[in-house]
Amino acid sequence: GDPSYSDPDWSPVTEQIVATSRVFLNPGRSVWRIVVLNLDGTSTTLLAAADGTEYSNPHWSPDGTQIVFRSGSGTQMRIFVMSYDGSNLRSLTDMENAAAVWSPDGIRVIFDNIFHKQHYLYFVDPYNGEFSHTPFASISDPPLLCWLP
pLDDT value for 144: 60
Question: Which of the four pLDDT bands, split at 50, 70 and 90, describes residue 71?
Answer: confident
Cβ atoms within 10 Å, residue 17: 18
Top pLDDT among 139 and 116 is at 116
Comparing 71 with 2, the larger pLDDT belongs to 71
Cβ–Cβ under 8 Å, residues 108 and 125? yes
Which of these, 24, 34, 27, lies nearest to 68 by C-alpha position? 34
- The residue ranking higher by pLDDT, 62 or 115, is 62
Q: Which residue has the higher pLDDT, 68 or 77?
A: 68
* Residue 67, pLDDT score: 94
**What's the pLDDT band for 25 if we cut at 50, 70, 90?**
confident
Q: What is the Cα–Cα distance from 24 to 5, expressed in whole angstroms?
A: 12
What is residue 60's predicted lDDT score, i.e. its pLDDT?
95
Can you give the chain as a three-state secondary structure string? CCEEEEEEEECCCCCEEEEEEEEEEECCEEEEEEEEEECCCCCEEEEEECCCCEEEEEEECCCCCEEEEEEECCCCCEEEEEECCCCCCEECCCCCEEEEEECCCCCCEEEEEEECCEEEEEEECCCCCCEEECCCCCECCCCCCCCCC
